[in-house]
Structure 1
Amino acid sequence: MVIPGTLDTRGSDFARLAHTIADAGLLDRRPFYYATRISIAVVVYLGCWTLFAWLGDSWLQLLVAAALAVVFAQFGFVAHDIGHRQVFRTRRPSDVAGLLIGNLGIGLGWGWWSSKHNRHHANPNHEDHDPDVSPAVIVWSPEQAIRSRGLPRFIARYQAFWFFPLLTLEAWHLHVASFKALFNPSAKRRGPELALLIAHFAAYFGVVFTVLPVGKALLFLVIHQGLFGLYLGSTFAPNHKGMPVLTKEDKLDFLRKQVLTSRNVRGGWFTDVALGQLNYQIEHHLFPHMPAPSLRRAQPIVQQYCAEIGVSYLQTGLLDSYGQALRHLHEVGAPLRR
């Protein structure tokens, strides 16, 4: 599905919305919120590893693996907010916190991920510029499906059925990509990033294989990393998958580019916590520096404004968002099935 390139491109629409949002104080920093959230995340993280050490050689460790998958994903959400300068105003404390939480805490390369994610925000769902819709394994448009070769072409035929099983490998993909990025000549902070990644995995594998026998240790790794990847992928999938895919023919202003390619997910406080408040994806893409707890308050303002200027604003339930994404993936593979 591609947006026609003839839509209105008036840049002043976003300026008026931004003025309203700023006047409502929704861009103000929330230091107490983030101090509390980060403290809770660190305490639970350390508590899980303490429980792991206390349980020892026990099958109950598989429950700890599942709990740690959730905690690792929550660390990822915090790192995401830090990367958008929602927590600290300046780059240096943001980078230090990002390296500690990302590289050391969960084995995710801070520099590589930040660069990749910023490119996604600049051109969401753009076939040529958004790394999140590159046809590495999954293909996102019929044109990509037709051009695909090898493994992507094989998977694309029935990729809607492959999607969630493949997410169990997402954490391993992120770990490997984090290391690979450090061997790029343009990589910044190569020494500190590599040292912290090595420290994470040395401690991670060392603790797991010291406490558990090999068989249980391997099963622990499969469950922990599989659920970690599945959880992360399941929180990002509702945001853009199944929304219009842009090409070079589409000429959209900033507001329309962000709103028309994003989807919100309805829900209460549990949905907000479970999805890292990224269920307010439209508001987040319009105002990436907005602290996460302000997104809920911004949502009705943005929705009403979009209605006033005639811009389609999509908000749906969580299960329906998955259904839309999977139906889109199945439709994309239709040319190959024929």
Structure 2
Amino acid sequence: MGLVRTLWSRDDVAARILAGDSLVVYNDLLLRIPHSWLATHPGGALAILHFVGRDAADEIEAYHNEHTICTIKKYAIGTVDTSSPWDPLLPPIMSGWVRKKASDGALVWHNEAHPISSPSGLSSEILLVHKDGSLLQDASGPTLATILPPPSNLSLKVQTRHSAAYKALHQRIIDAGLYKTRYVTGYGPEVARYFLLAASSAYAYKHGWLITSAVCLGLLWHQLVFTVHDLGHLGVTHDWTIDRLLAIFIADFIGGLSVGWWVDNHNVHHLVTNHPSHDPDIEHLPFLAISTAFFNSLWSSYYKRTMLFDRFSAVLVSLQHKLFYVVLAFGRFNLYANAYAFLIRKAFDTRKARGGRWSWWLEVIGVAFFWCWFGALLKGCGSWTNALTYLVVSHVVTSPLHLQIVLSHFSMSTEDLGPTESFPHRQLRTTTDVICPPYLSFVHGGLHLQVTHHLFPRLPRHNLREASVLVKQYAKEQGLVYAEFGFIKGNGEVLSVLKAVADQVCLVAAVADREIQEAMVKKTG
């Protein structure tokens, strides 16, 4: 699809988006993403749909290598005026509009959700609730008013400056050679640790030390996930096929999880971090809510369901600061549920993502293999009580991983500042580091440096510490906050957020009870 030398105005772009085109600005190029590519994009369709009508240059370059970017440029259909910053449009999906196939096979607009007033009072914030009734074709589709972003307190000029400085920072990261993987000094000690934990678990199991074996196996799973994380971001060999094969072997065959699901989920989390309606990593009702916005029974554009805030949810959320560590202890079971639901959905896809045919089958085989060997392990425990103990202990031991993830985001802002916000501004606003000495960084897998990781997701994690020095300098120069706190303080911050939301649940319940009592008094009077 060669470049057509046509200059597109903002009005032209808006008209084509309303007509159904997925148009994304990349620097001065206008990219038209075919629907067929949306269905096969390795990072998932949502990773693109959230940037329709916006300049996604920072995100594109952060997530793709040079070879892929050259391929992306083939989708250019023209250019846009770069004499002034691109004034972003609001992606239709952010206001609840999606394109779906009708019964005749034609793509039509559907309104799956509609926006509500911001509970935080931000004029730029858009949250979604499920549209009443079934999902019906809407012949009218979105209007120009739908894709014009609401007023923002952010300065487009300032956000453009942050973006330009981020591009310069990215070039410094590249020039410093920080995309080069440290196979020996980085992964060498980790591989040795993996084999030590695996051997220890096998040795203990053979001698009947089941608790010790379960602990070692859980620690192995906990450590392996960090390498799967790198592979999912193409941060090891930087070759999609090799990294995906390695990831499937580790995640599916050894861990029983789906790396395909993780990549699909995790990319969205990175791009719309901490957005209540769009980031799946903070959508944990009925168990947890980190914002009172969830009291509105929000629509999840990722899960395609309503996060219902009912009486059951209210009870659990009112106790969430007390049940927090209990919920995290069983977090791995939630990963199984999400991963297998994803694989089942993909089984019915007519067009799977890149490598979808062989990778999907390999993942299914891998998960089956996992439950065969792990099931045999449980059967060999001698009794159902021993097997249950082994199952619970091995899975609870992995819970520090879930704690680390929430520490980096749960205490940060969940407000939506609109499409005007730049990529680096959003990541620094919604993400924090956990301060950790170098000799203990392996416990966090090196991913305690989440701010730098969110800004440069393909960066090998063994290089994050060196890169974070440059990022902190960037933040200081741009007047942005680089958030970080210690492990204990971080836990306190998260518990404080959970308790504040829980208190609001109790307050709402108390007000409702008082209103009911007053109504009954008036009725009997």
Query: Per the shorter chain, which TM-score range?
Result: over 0.9
The Cα shift of 1:250 comes to 6.3
Within a 5 Å distance, the mapping from 1:245-256 to structure 2 comes to 245-247=414-416, 249=418, 251-256=420-425
Displacement after TM superposition at 1:208 (Å): 2.3
Answer whether contact 1:278 1:284 (CA < 8 A) is retained: yes
Q: 1:74: which partner in 2?
A: 223
Equivalent residue number for residue 397 of structure 2: 227
Contact map agreement 1:108 1:197 (CA 8 A) in 2: yes
Distance change (3 Å), C-alpha of 1:308 and 1:300: same
2:164 to 12, 16, 23: 12
Residue of structure 1 in register with 2:90 after alignment: none
- Give yes or no for contact 1:6–1:250 (8 Å, CA) kept in 2: no
Q: Distance in 2 between matches of 1:128 and 1:161?
A: 25
> Which of 335, 339, 342 is the matching residue for 1:181?
342
Using the TM superposition, give the Cα deviation of residue 37 of structure 1 relative to its aligned residue in structure 2, in angstroms: 4.3
- Alignment correspondent of 1:207: 377
Query: Alpha-carbon deviations, 1:240-266, whole Å to 9, x = none?
Result: 111000326463101111111110111
Post-superposition CA distance 1:223-281 (Å, at most 9, x none)? 111222x2221221211111000326463101111111110111212431101111100
Residues 135 and 144 in structure 1, CA contact (< 8 A), matched pair in contact too = no
- Does the CA-based 8 Å contact 1:145-1:333 persist in structure 2? no
Over the matched positions of the two proteins, sequence identity in percent amounts to 22
TM-score, normalised via structure 1 length: 0.92
Q: Is the 8 A contact 1:120 1:131 kept in 2?
A: yes
Displacement of 1:91 in angstroms is 0.8
Partner amino acid for 2:405?
F
- Tell me, in whole angstroms, the C-alpha distance in 1 between the residues paired with 2:194 and 2:216: 14
Alignment of 1:276-291 (within 5 A): 276-291=445-460
Structure-2 separation of matches of 1:112 and 1:298? 28
Per-residue Cα deviation, 1:268-295 (whole angstroms, up to 9, x for no partner): 1243110111110000001111111111
Say which of 428, 435, 438 aligns to 1:259. Answer: 428
Q: Distance in 2 between matches of 1:293 and 1:13?
A: 24
Residues 179, 194 of structure 1: 8 Å contact kept: no
Give the length in aligned residue pairs: 334
1:328 maps to amino acid: V
**Residue of 210, 214, 217 corresponding to 1:61:** 210
Distance in 2, matches of 1:41 and 1:107, equals 20
Which residue number in structure 2 is paired with residue 100 of structure 1? 249
> After the TM superposition, which of the residue ranges 317-326 and 263-272 deviates more from structure 2?
263-272
Deviations 1:165-203 (A, max 9, x none): 101111111112222211102363332211110110111
Deviates more, 1:63-72 or 1:112-121: 63-72
Q: Which runs of 5+ in 1 are unaligned?
A: none
| Equivalent position of 1:140 in the other structure | 290
- Would the aligned equivalents of 1:146 and 1:335 in 2 still touch at CA under 8 Å? no
Q: 1 CA distance for matches of 2:343 and 2:469?
A: 42
CA positional deviation for 1:216: 1.3
Matching residue of 2:329:
168
Hey, what does 1:272 align to over in structure 2?
A: 441
Q: Which runs of 5+ in 2 are unaligned?
A: 1-118, 125-151, 298-308, 508-525
Q: Does 1:29 align with 2:181?
A: yes
- Work out which of the two has the higher radius of gyration on C-alpha atoms and give 1 or 2: 2
Q: Deviation per CA, 1:56-97: give whole Å up to 9, x if none.
A: 3xxx32122122211111011110011111101111111100
Report the CA distance shift for 1:150/1:44 in structure 2 as closer, same or farther (over 3 A): farther
Alignment partner, residue 240 of structure 2: 91
8 Å Cα contact 2:202-2:213 kept in structure 1: no
Deviation at 1:28, TM superposition (A): 2.1
Amino acid in structure 2 at the alignment position of 1:74:
Q
How high is the TM-score relative to the length of structure 2? 0.60
More strand by share: 2
The question of whether the paired residues in 1 share the 8 Å contact of 2:434 and 2:490 is answered with: yes
State which of 435, 449, 463 in structure 2 corresponds to 1:294.
463
Amino acid at match of 2:385: G
In structure 1, what is the Cα distance between the partners aligned to 2:273 and 2:260?
A: 19
**Distance in 2, Cα, partners of 1:320 & 1:198:** 41
- Give the Cα–Cα distance (whole angstroms) in 2 for the partners of residues 251 and 129 of structure 1: 17
- Separation in 2, partners of 1:129, 1:326: 23
Name the structure 1 match of 2:485.
316
Contact 2:221 2:255 in 1 (8 A): yes
Structure-2 separation of matches of 1:206 and 1:258: 44
User: CA separation of 1:174/1:47 partners in 2, compared to 1, >3 Å: closer, same or farther?
Assistant: same
Q: Partners in 2 of 1:331 and 1:286 — Cα distance? A: 29
Partner of 2:365 in structure 1? 195
User: In proportion to residue count, which structure has more helix?
Assistant: 1
* Structure 1 contact 99–193 (Cα < 8 Å) conserved: yes
Larger RCO, structures 1/2 (Cα 8 Å, 6+ apart): 1
Q: Is the 8 A contact 1:13 1:255 kept in 2?
A: no
| Counterparts in 2 of 1:97 and 1:106: CA distance versus 1, 3 Å | same
Equivalent of 2:196, from 36, 39, 44? 44
**Matching residue's letter, 1:168:** A
1:142-171 deviation line (CA, Å, top 9, x unaligned): 111353224332211121111111011111
Residue in structure 2 matched with residue 336 of structure 1 by the alignment: 505
